[in-house]
Structure 1
Amino acid sequence: MPPAHRIDTHQHVVPPRYAKWLADKGIRPGGIDLPTWSEPAALKFMDRHQIQTGILSLSTPGVHFGNTPEARRWAREVNEFCAALVARHPTRFGFFATLTLPDVQGALAEAQYALDDLHADGIVLLANNNGHYLGDPAFTPLLDFLHRRQTTVFIHPGELPADPVPGIPTFTADFLLDTTRTAISLILSGALKTYPGIKFILAHAGGFVPYIAYRILLTMLSKQTKPRQAWTLLDQKHQIPKHLAVLRQFHYDLALSASPATLPSLLEVADPTHITYGSDYPFAPAPAIRFLDGQFDQYPLEPGLRQAISRGNAETLFPRLRA
C-alpha cells in the first residue's frame, strides 16, 4: 500500500453527544440515519485510503433549529471537540469551525473564537440557512469578517427550502442544487467580487455549477445588458475565458464526484489549482469512496495534476500541512 499523502477537505465528524442530540430530536440528515463515527475508525479509514490529513466539518443540519442560545452552546461544544482532536493528532486532522447561522451575531463571535483561540483551519457554512443563501445581505457582516481574516470557507449543502420529492433521496439531486444556488447567489449579489479574501470551497465538485456554467454566465451577463445582447456577448468565443474567471474563483472538492462523467466538466471550468480531494466520510460508504478513488487514479490528467489535487492544492489553502 502506498504511503498516506492525500489531504481530504471533505471529511465529516460526528461527535457522540451531538449524534445523541440529533437522535433525541428525531432528525435524520438528508433522510438517512446518522452514520457512526469514532476517532479510531476515522484514522483506520484514512490509512486505508492513503489520506494523511482529514479537515473535519460538521455536515447538515448544523446546530441551529430555531433556538439561538441552544445553537450557540452546541457550536461551541462541537468546535472544542474538534480542536481537542486536532491537538491529539495535529498532522492527521484539521477542522472547519461550525457557526450558528442564521444567527449572525453568534456566528461572528464563534468564528472569532474558533479562529483565534481554537486555531481552526477554516469555517464550514451550510449553503442555505433557514432558506437564505449566502449572498443574502443579512450575511454581509459575517462575509466581511471572513474576508478580512482571509478565511477558507467550506460550503456544504443542506436541505432545500422546499418539500422533498417522494421517492427521491435528498443526496441524489437536492444537495447538488443547494450548492449551486448559493454559488449563484454569491456571484449575482456581488459578494464574490466584494470579498475576494474568502476562499470558498464548493462541495461535490460544485454541484451543478460546472455543468451549467454557460447558463450561469448568461444569467450574469443578462444583469448587465439586455438578454439578446447577453447571448451575443457569450457567442464571442474569445470572451468566454474572461467570463469564466468568476467561476474559477471558487475551489471545488471531489467528494463523490471523481467520475469520468463529472471530471470533464469540472476540469473545463475550474482553475486546476483550485481542486481538492474529498471523501465525504463517514456519510459516503467505504465501497463508494474506494470505487471513486479508483476512478480518479485511472483518469488521464495533465502531469502533476493528480498530485496537486490529492495534496498540493490543499497545502496552499492550509500552509501548516505542507510536508
Structure 2
Amino acid sequence: MVDQWIDVHAHFTPPMTQEQSAARWLAMQQADWIGAKPTDWSLASALALMDSVGIAMQMLSNIPKELHTLRASNDYGASIVAMHPSRFGLLVALPTDNPEAALAEIRRGYDKLNADGFAVTFCYNDVYLSDSRLEPVWAELDRREAVVFAHPNAYGPGSFGRPSALLEVAFETTRTVVDMLYAGIFRRYPNFKLVLAHCGAALPALSGRLLLLGTQPWIQNPNSITQDEMRQQLRSLFLDTAMTGSAHTLAPALAMTTCDHIVYGSDCGVPCTVEETMRANIEAMLGFAGLAPEQIEQIGHNALSLFPGAAARLRRSACHVVDAEPRHFRIDGIDNGVPS
C-alpha cells in the first residue's frame, strides 16, 4: 500500500502469562471495552503486518505504570531492536511520576538501551507532564536534544459507557499540552522535539481559539506567554497520523503547523487498532486533497530526520541482507533495487 514508511506510533507488549493477559482484559472490560478479547501483541504478527502494508520500520513504545515493569519493558524493547535493527526502533518509556527515576532511565536509555527517543504519558500515575517537579527531566531531555513521543492514557475510566480510547484521550492530550505551553516549558527548553500522538488530538482544531483568546487579560498566564510565542511553539510540535489520517484532522493540523512536522503513525499493537482500521487510515491519507501526493509520501518518511540512528540502520540495510532476506528501500534517495 505504501512505500516503506516509518511508523513512529507502534506499541508492543512483553510476553504475558495467560493469567496476566486475562487480568488485563478484565481491567479493560471494567473500563467499558466490549466485544471479544483482543489478541495479544507478538513480534511475528507485527512483522507480518508491516510487510503486508509496506512499513519499513516501527518505533516501538510501551509505558507500564509500575517502575520495575517499565524498566523490564524497556529492556525487552531493546532486545527486539537488537534482533531486528532495520525493522524497529525503541522509544524508552519514562516514569514521569518520579523525576529521579526518569532521569536514571534517560541515562540508561542512552548508555545501555540504544534509545532512539523516549515515550511519556500525558498523565502518568496522576502526574501531568506540565508538573513543575518534572523541570529537571525536561532540562535533561533538552540538553540532549531528545525526541519525546507523548501519548495519552487509553486505558483510563470510560465515559458514558465508552472506552477512553475513543474520545477522552484527545482531551487529555489537549489539556496537558496547553498547560505545558502556559507553564513556559517550551520557552525554557526549545531543543527537545515533542511528537504528539493522534495528530495532536483536539489541539489543532482548538489552536485558533487558543491564539485568539489565550493571551487575553482574563486568562491566567503567569509566564506572560505572548501570542507570537504560542504560534511559534504550536508550529514547532510534531504530530503523528495514528487513526487521524483524514481531512477532518489533517486540515486543522496543517493550519497549526507544516507538512514537515507531520509524521506517519499507525497505533498498531493495541486493541483499539486492527488491520482494517490501519489500512483505512492510510487510504484516507492517500486520498487527502489538501496535500500533493509527494507531500503525503514525505509524511511517510519525515521520521527519518527525527531519528538519525534509525535512519542509519535503514541505510545499512539497503545494501546488505538483514533480517533473513533482502527488502526494497528508498531512504534519502537511496534505492537498493530489491523488488518489494
TM range (shorter): 0.7 to 0.9
Contact 2:120/2:149, CA 8 A, preserved across alignment: yes
Change (3 A) 1:20 1:316: farther
Task: Give the drift of 1:282.
Answer: 2.2
Change (3 A) 1:42 1:160: closer
Change (3 A) 1:221 1:262: same
Change (3 A) 1:241 1:48: farther
SS at match of 2:57: strand
**Residues 199-278 of structure 1: pairs in structure 2 closer than 5 A:** 199-222=193-216, 226-227=217-218, 243-278=230-265
CA RMSD of aligned residues (A): 2.5
Match of 1:298 among 268, 287, 292: 287
Identity rate, percent = 30
Match of 2:188 among 184, 194, 199: 194
Task: Give the drift of 1:244.
Answer: 2.2
Q: Distance in 2 between matches of 1:160 and 1:215?
A: 29
1:52 aligns with 2:56: yes
Q: Which moved more, 1:251-260 or 1:290-299?
A: 290-299
1:132 aligns with 2:127: yes
Contact 2:116/2:309, CA 8 A, preserved across alignment: no
| Aligned residue pairs, count | 299
Contact 2:155/2:165, CA 8 A, preserved across alignment: no
Structure 1 stretches lacking a partner, 5+ long: 65-70, 231-238
**Residues 25-64 of structure 1: pairs in structure 2 closer than 5 A:** 26-28=26-28, 31-32=32-33, 35-58=39-62, 62-64=63-65
Which residue is 1:12 aligned to?
11
Which residue is 1:236 aligned to?
none
Q: Distance in 2 between matches of 1:81 and 1:186?
A: 31
Which residue is 2:160 aligned to?
166
Specify the code of the residue in structure 2 equivalent to 1:180: T
Structure 2 stretches lacking a partner, 5+ long: 312-330, 332-340
Query: C-alpha deviations, 1:238-270, integer Å up to 9, x for none?
Result: x98775222111100000000122211111112
Which residue is 1:67 aligned to?
none
Q: Which moved more, 1:286-295 or 1:95-104?
A: 95-104
For normalisation by structure 1, the TM-score amounts to 0.85
Change (3 A) 1:53 1:106: same
For normalisation by structure 2, the TM-score amounts to 0.81
Q: Which moved more, 1:142-151 or 1:131-140?
A: 131-140
SS at match of 1:181: helix
Change (3 A) 1:289 1:167: same
Q: Distance in 2 between matches of 1:259 and 1:202?
A: 17
Query: C-alpha deviations, 1:77-103, integer Å up to 9, x for none?
Result: 111111111011111000111122212
Contact 2:214/2:227, CA 8 A, preserved across alignment: no
